[in-house]
């Protein structure tokens, strides 16, 4: 029976029924969600259209107000350029301007400034009430006759924020004659914006081209003069167009807002009308939640009915399909795994082998089925593996993990890690073992390499201090048991600091590698150990070696270092690199009160004696028992 036929009971009817129920529920939710989202978009689009109309109207009002100011300023400039700035002319113009100011509430004040910055209008107007005279400096330095709309400034006398519009007038010879200035009150603009009902938490703001707020409703007194130049409206290149819609989080009150902006084509003004998105979407959200609750209840009812139907369809097939599913899943996992999966019978022969056996042990599954499961294991590891398998067959262990060497058809031998678990029949009796094995040869090689790095000096390749200390204890214990002698040489490069200072650290490293190579060449026996003891100091451990043998090897090392002829200008006695050598020997079995540190101390004292005697020489400390006090108190 094929796998597809065995699984037909589930895969055809129950699965299709479940898919139909799921698709029905998903379709209902999808259509409902789409309709709600479309309703949300409609609300936003309607609001965008409304705010666009408001922004255009308010922007037009701002331009009309500035046009009104400019027409008055142009008339004054013409009269000044024809009649001059005599007191009579100024008085006459002041009266005319005052009458015009009273006739148009949107006009806050007028002023005339001469070419030296003196205010020519009477103190009853705007004269001497501003802290910002940027408009005057602009017209003084620029010969252009266009109007200048200034940044919002605060009157020093009234404390009221105003927006200035100014023009330059010239003397008869064409030189700078002064400035005519008119202002609009920020409060006037804010009160005008109150007429537009655009929302409880919404706002309309007139902003100067450099980002300073000119007027805002609501909260004009709080926000006028504040800069919004660092917002997206002024920084984002995509928003530097005449008008448009954008969504943003307000830096003024932190609310999420929908905004329509309109940039004036004639003045450096931007009108921004905004709606609070939460307030705008609140009615839609309340209605959407209500509608979606009804939809969710309907979908839940359909899902429950569908689940009952699918469960009834499954019930008659589940028992028959369970065994087939179990076997199918096992084979699917085993044959798709990169690890080798095997099933071992109680006779310890392979009943099943996954295709990955070719990669793991080099043999095809068909070549392994029926063969002894433990046939390829290394004889040294076989007893341990066999003991574990026997314990699992007896029921003493349910699972185990072990590492062992196994033969490979092409690669000789590999390391395997196997996880074994007992399998049982329906009656609970064990019927074999399932093993999952993976090749960990590279991991073992890495472990070996890391172990080497842990005991090896990276510069010289000799054993490091840690390895030396371990071996010294081991050899001391062995010499004690065997009643044999143990020798130690301590070798120190003469004047090495001066060598480093004169030739540099790379040359110093090369010198140490050369010395290490010479010392390593003298390790003729398996038990000999050459180590870098620290810095420029080396040690050589010589098991089963007496004083004469120790001295012979030490002298050969000293002589070989000298004859290497490595130039050392700071070593005045020889002119080349040399080394001082200290040696010591002992018989641990005869010196019960001595320890491993005693041997090191004796060799170290001999080394310092060699240095004190002029360096480049070997000194032996003699037998340790001659140097150390006896237990009897001698």
Q: Which two tokens stand for residue 198?
A: 């655009």
Give the bridge partners for 584, in sequence order: 488
How many Å apart are CA 80 and CA 94, to the nearest integer? 12
How many Å apart are CA 108 and CA 162, to the nearest integer? 8
- First and final C-alpha spacing in the chain: 95
CB atoms within 10 A of CB 224: 24
How many Å apart are CA 242 and CA 264, to the nearest integer? 7
How far does CA 150 lie from the centroid of its chain? 47
How far does CA 306 lie from the centroid of its chain? 46
Q: Tell me if the bond preceding 620 is cis, omega within 30° of 0.
A: no
Task: Spell out the SS3 assignment of 387-410.
Answer: HHHHHHHCCCCCEEEEEEEEEECC
The backbone torsions φ and ψ at residue 617, rounded to the nearest 5 degrees and listed phi first, read -155, 165
How many Å apart are CA 30 and CA 517, to the nearest integer? 78
Counting other chains too, the contacts that 183-186 makes at CB distance below 8 Å and 24 or more residues apart are 183/69, 183/107, 183/108, 183/109, 183/110, 183/126, 184/65, 184/66, 184/69, 184/106, 184/107, 184/108, 185/106, 185/108, 185/160, 185/161, 186/152, 186/160, 186/161, 186/162, 186/214, 186/215, 186/220, 186/224
Are the C-beta atoms of residues 420 and 392 closer than 8 Å to each other?
yes
How many Å apart are CA 555 and CA 580, to the nearest integer? 10
Give me the torsion for CA of 61, 67, 72, 76, rounded to 10°.
Answer: 150
Kind of pairing between the strands at 486-493 and 579-586: antiparallel
Give buried/exposed letters for 85-111 (b at 16+ CB in 10 A, else e).
beeebbeebbeebbebbeeeebbbbbb
Query: Catalytic: which of 36, 160, 475, 536?
Result: 536
Closest by CA to 519, choosing from 463, 465, 597, is 463
Q: Is 98 a catalytic residue?
A: no
How many Cα neighbours within 13 Å face the side chain of 469? 6
Looking up tokens 């919404």 gives: 202
Query: How far is residue 470 from each of residues 187, 477, 529, 611, measured CA to CA in Å?
Result: 90, 11, 11, 28
Helices first, then strands: H and E counts in the chain: 19, 20
Q: Which two tokens stand for residue 180?
A: 């005519």
* For the chain, the helix, strand and coil percentages under 3-state DSSP, each to the nearest 5: 45, 25, 30
Are the C-beta atoms of residues 515 and 538 closer than 8 Å to each other?
yes
Give buried/exposed letters for 51-66 (b at 16+ CB in 10 A, else e).
bbebbeebbebbbebb
Just list the catalytic residues.
536
């Amino acid at each position: 029976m094929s796998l597809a036929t065995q699984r037909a009971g589930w895969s055809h009817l129950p699965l299709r029924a479940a898919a139909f129920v799921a698709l029905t529920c998903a379709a209902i939710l999808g259509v409902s969600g789409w309709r709600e989202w479309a309703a949300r978009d409609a609300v936003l689009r309607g609001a965008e259209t409304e705010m666009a109309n408001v922004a255009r109207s308010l922007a037009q009002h701002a331009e009309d107000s500035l046009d009104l100011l400019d027409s008055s300023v142009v008339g004054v400039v013409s009269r000044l350029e024809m009649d001059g700035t005599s007191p009579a002319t100024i008085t006459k113009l002041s009266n005319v301007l005052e009458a015009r100011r009273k006739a148009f509430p949107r006009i806050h004040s007028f002023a005339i400034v001469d070419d030296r910055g003196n205010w020519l209008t009477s103190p009853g107007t705007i004269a001497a009430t501003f802290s910002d005279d940027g408009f005057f400096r602009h017209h003084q330095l620029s010969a252009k006759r266009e109007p200048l709309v200034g940044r919002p400034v605060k009157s020093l006398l009234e404390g009221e924020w105003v927006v200035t519009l100014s023009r330059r007038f010239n003397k008869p010879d064409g030189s700078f004659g002064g400035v005519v200035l008119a202002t609009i009150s920020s409060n006037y603009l804010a009160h005008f914006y109150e007429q537009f009902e655009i929302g409880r938490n919404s706002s309309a703001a007139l902003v100067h081209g450099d980002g300073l707020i000119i007027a805002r409703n609501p909260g004009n007194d709080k926000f006028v003069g504040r800069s919004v130049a660092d917002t997206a409206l002024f920084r984002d290149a995509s928003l530097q167009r005449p008008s448009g819609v954008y969504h943003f989080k307000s830096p003024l009150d932190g609310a999420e807002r929908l905004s329509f902006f309109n940039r004036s084509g004639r003045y450096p003004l931007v009108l921004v009308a905004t709606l609070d998105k939460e307030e705008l979407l609140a009615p839609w959200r309340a209605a959407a939640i209500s509608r979606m609750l009804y939809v969710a209840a309907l979908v839940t009812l359909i899902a429950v009915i569908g689940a009952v139907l699918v469960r009834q369809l499954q019930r008659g097939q589940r028992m028959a399909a369970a065994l087939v599913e179990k076997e199918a899943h096992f084979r699917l996992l085993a044959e798709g795994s990169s690890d080798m999966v095997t099933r071992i019978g109680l006779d310890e022969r392979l009943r099943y082998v996954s295709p990955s056996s070719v990669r793991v042990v080099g043999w095809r599954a068909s070549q392994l089925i029926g063969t002894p499961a433990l046939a390829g294991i290394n004889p040294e590891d076989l007893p341990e593996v066999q003991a574990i398998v026997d314990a699992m067959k007896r029921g003493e262990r349910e699972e185990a993990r072990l590492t062992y060497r196994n033969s490979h058809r092409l690669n000789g031998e590999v390391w395997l890690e196997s996880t074994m678990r007992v399998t049982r029949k329906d009656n609970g009796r064990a019927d074999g073992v399932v093993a999952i094995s993976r090749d960990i040869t590279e991991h073992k090689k890495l472990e070996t390499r890391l172990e080497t790095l842990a005991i090896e000096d990276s510069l010289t390749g000799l054993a490091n201090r840690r390895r030396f200390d371990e071996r010294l204890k081991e050899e001391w214990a062995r010499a004690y048991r065997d009643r044999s002698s143990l020798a130690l040489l301590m070798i120190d490069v003469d004047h090495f600091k001066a060598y480093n200072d004169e030739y540099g650290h790379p040359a110093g490293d090369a010198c140490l590698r050369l010395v290490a190579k010479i010392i390593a060449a003298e390790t003729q026996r398996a038990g000999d150990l050459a180590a870098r003891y620290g810095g420029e100091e080396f040690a050589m451990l010589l098991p089963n070696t007496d004083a004469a043998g120790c001295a012979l090897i030490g002298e050969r090392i000293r002589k070989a270092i000298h004859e290497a002829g490595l130039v050392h200008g700071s070593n005045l006695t020889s002119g080349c690199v040399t080394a001082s050598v200290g040696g010591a020997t002992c018989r641990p079995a005869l010196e019960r009160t001595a320890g491993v540190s005693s041997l090191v101390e004796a060799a170290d004292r001999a080394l310092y004696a060699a240095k004190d005697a002029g360096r480049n020489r070997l000194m032996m400390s003699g037998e340790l028992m001659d140097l150390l006090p006896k237990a009897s108190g001698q």
